[in-house]
Amino acid sequence: MTPVPAGAEKNTRSVAVGTKSTAVRGFEASAVCAEIKKGRLRPDLTLIYSRTPAAVAAVFTRNRVQAAPILINRERIVRGVGRAVLANSGNANACTGLPGLKDAKRLSQKAARLLGVPEEEIFLASTGVIGRRLPLSRMMRALPDLVRTLSPEGLPAAAEAIMTTDTFPKIVHEEIGVGKKAVRITALAKGAGMIRPDMATMLCFVLTDLAVHPALLQELLRQAVDRSFHRITVDGDTSTNDMVLVLANGQAENPPLTRLGDPNSRAFSRTLDRMLLQLARLLIRDGEGATKEVTLIVQGAASEAEARTLALTVAHSPLVKTALYGQDANWGRILAALGRAGVPIDPLKVEVFFDRVQVVKNGIGTGEKEEQRAASILKKRAFTLRIRLNQGNAAARIYTCDLSLDYVRINAEYRT
């Protein structure tokens, strides 16, 4: 079963793989092995399909170097209609130039023919090694089986097929009431390394039978991503393939959502926020080589933007992250990171806590005894690092992890 992140809401109706059907009306999925990564005979090509046209929305990587699927999807998303997602792991199809674009389009053309839908309604996703051409012939041969084995219960298999260095699949499901109709939502994601705000090396697909206008769906998704995937960092790197995509096919037959302030729109927005944050925290828990899940909170800042900048500077610091791995309450590294964030702070007002143990007061350490108590906190799998600036009323929350020897090993061997 997919683990639930520490601190997740107790009243959530989300469920993980294995606890309940993740099926959503009108959607089918399948996964096959196309031998995309040599020596790994496991599912690596997946198809998610809506039997009827669906409203579509997406948020893409902010990296200026973008993979072929992202470039194609940016053109297709403007239509606001989608029918399917064809995704692969093991190869990013990034930095492959015009040949990579042609490979991706050949795949979507064949998938469209097999499904009997317009090619412009096929969205593409790839994740894996950068700079290598797709094994196109093997993938093309796998497409008929992919279409033939489509199933309403295929989403857990899809979640596994998009994994790269992930150690477990990440999928959640909820049901909410919209008007008098029951609406189902399933969201799946992958990602463990090259994770930071501005997306991450991650893919996320959200499927719902909600009826909603594409423009509203795009705005609700943008807000949800800002509150979830844009608040996590594993290693400070941003990938070339990141994408969060939502398909909403209207099969719940609720009155279509069109306005941001509508009570039903707010209910869906809260659910989407919660589900994406749950997935985001699972990505942190599964960070490459990670042994700690850290909730980093900066309080008492002059503005939320400044609090966020300070929190991210601390979260990205290799010195802070390695200290967390070493279970060393090295608060000096935290203050040094704050001081180089480019945000005006008064060091003599800063306070630092690990859970409830205070290691810094008025910019000065509270002593060896408190550091020893904090070191025992750092032995836990999950804890909170709280920084109080005492310069205002704004705050920001970021989710991060430590940086371990295994992170170096995983990334040193990634292409072998």
Verify that 314 and 254 share a domain, yes or no: no
What is the reported pLDDT for 95? Answer: 93
Q: Do 93 and 103 contact (CB within 8 A), yes or no?
A: yes
**Mean pLDDT of the 382-386 span:** 97
Verify that 194 and 297 share a domain, yes or no: no
pLDDT digits (tens, 9 = 90+) for 169-224: 999 999 999 989 999 999 999 976 544 444 445 899 999 999 999 999 999 999 99
Q: Do 294 and 401 contact (CB within 8 A), yes or no?
A: yes
Verify that 207 and 313 share a domain, yes or no: no
What is the reported pLDDT for 236? Answer: 59
Task: Tell me which of 108 and 14 has the higher pLDDT.
Answer: 108
Verify that 150 and 247 share a domain, yes or no: yes
pLDDT digits (tens, 9 = 90+) for 387-411: 999 999 999 999 998 888 777 776 6
SS3 of residue 374 by DSSP: helix
Task: Give a yes or no: residue 219 inside a domain.
Answer: yes
pLDDT surpasses 70 at 7: no
SS3 of residue 22 by DSSP: coil
Phi, psi for 252 (deg, rounded to 5): -70, -20
Task: Give a yes or no: residue 6 inside a domain.
Answer: no
Distance CA 19, CA 78 (A): 36
* Whole-number percent of the chain with pLDDT over 70: 89
Q: What is the pTM (predicted TM-score) of this model?
A: 0.86
Cα first-last separation, the chain: 30
Q: Which of 285, 319, 343 is the last residue of a domain?
A: 285
Q: Which of 244, 260, 285 is the last residue of a domain?
A: 285
Task: Give a yes or no: residue 278 inside a domain.
Answer: yes
pLDDT surpasses 70 at 136: yes
pLDDT digits (tens, 9 = 90+) for 320-333: 999 999 999 999 99
Verify that 141 and 218 share a domain, yes or no: yes
pLDDT surpasses 70 at 293: yes
Distance CA 398, CA 312 (A): 7
Q: Do 45 and 332 contact (CB within 8 A), yes or no?
A: no
**Mean pLDDT of the 37-57 span:** 91
Q: Which residues pair with 204 in a beta bridge?
A: 189, 244
pLDDT digits (tens, 9 = 90+) for 68-91: 999 999 999 999 999 999 999 999
pLDDT surpasses 60 at 3: no
Catalytic (active-site) positions: 201
pLDDT digits (tens, 9 = 90+) for 213-242: 999 999 999 999 999 988 888 765 566 788
Verify that 261 and 314 share a domain, yes or no: no
Verify that 330 and 382 share a domain, yes or no: yes
Neighbours of 304 (CB within 10 A): 14
Most confident among 158-167, 365-374, 401-410 (mean pLDDT): 365-374
Residue 352 sits in a domain of what CATH number?
3.10.20.340
Range of the domain at 90: 27-285
pLDDT surpasses 60 at 306: yes
* Domain total in the chain: 2
The average confidence (pLDDT) of the chain is 89
Verify that 253 and 328 share a domain, yes or no: no
pLDDT surpasses 90 at 373: yes
Q: Which candidate, 214, 238, 209, places its Cα nearest to that of 51?
A: 209
Q: Do 389 and 350 contact (CB within 8 A), yes or no?
A: yes
Verify that 257 and 309 share a domain, yes or no: no
Residue 179 sits in a domain of what CATH number?
3.60.70.12
